[in-house]
Amino acid sequence: TDASSAVKVKRAVQKTSDLIVLGLPWKTTEQDLKEYFSTFGEVLMVQVKKDLKTGHSKGFGFVRFTEYETQVKVMSQRHMIDGRWCDCKLPNSKQSQDEPLRSRKVFVGRCTEDMTEDELREFFSQYGDVMDVFIPKPFRAFAFVTFADDQIAQSLCGEDLIIKGISVHISNAEPKHNSNRQLERSGRFGGNPVHLISNVYGRSTSLKVVL
């Protein structure tokens, strides 16, 4: 019995790992994090990542629990910490190395023309390190923001955020897959968009040549 229980403890220790906590408010301290997550189980470690120059929070941190069951429970739900919804995930460092550009860039829709790249950089820096901000010209009411950490970018996708009083929508930027998705959408109308159009006009041959 003692041997089997020792094995269970060993497995639990091996499985627990640091979880990244995304979307933390600037005011949240490590003590705040520890108090919050202690309600789920015993906490081994908490850390709020801070800017080395300013000492301000970067908007994310890490937590590690003693029990694997606690870790699973925490990962299965969103968390309201100091008035903001936060997510806890595995960092997935190996996956980000295999696909270094995957999901690090987000698409910011519904932008207004008076928003500058510097303003967007300052706003999104509250969530994590911003590597690049790009506003296409001529203005098209959207922008791209690239984070250093793909986990932070993923956590923002699907969110509506307020910038300068305007609600902008954040989604995943996947330029490599856009053309494929468009083909898939057109293919829903019978599998071949060329035949769909040609049937309407009754001249399949000439339309195929044009397309």
The pLDDT value given to residue 131? 84
Q: How far apart are CA 144 and CA 198, in angstroms?
A: 38
What is the average per-residue pLDDT within 68-95? Answer: 83
Q: Which pair of structure tokens corresponds to residue 49?
A: 């990542």
pLDDT at res. 40:
95
Query: Could you read off the pLDDT of 175-209 as tens digits, one per residue?
Result: 544 444 444 444 444 444 444 443 444 444 444 44
pLDDT tens for residues 31-45?
A: 999 999 999 999 999
pTM, 2 dp: 0.44
Q: Tell how far CA 78 is from the center of its chain.
A: 13
- Among 52-61, 126-135, 201-210, name the one with the lowest average pLDDT: 201-210
- Which structural domains are found in the chain, ordered by start? 18-89 (3.30.70.330), 105-172 (3.30.70.330)
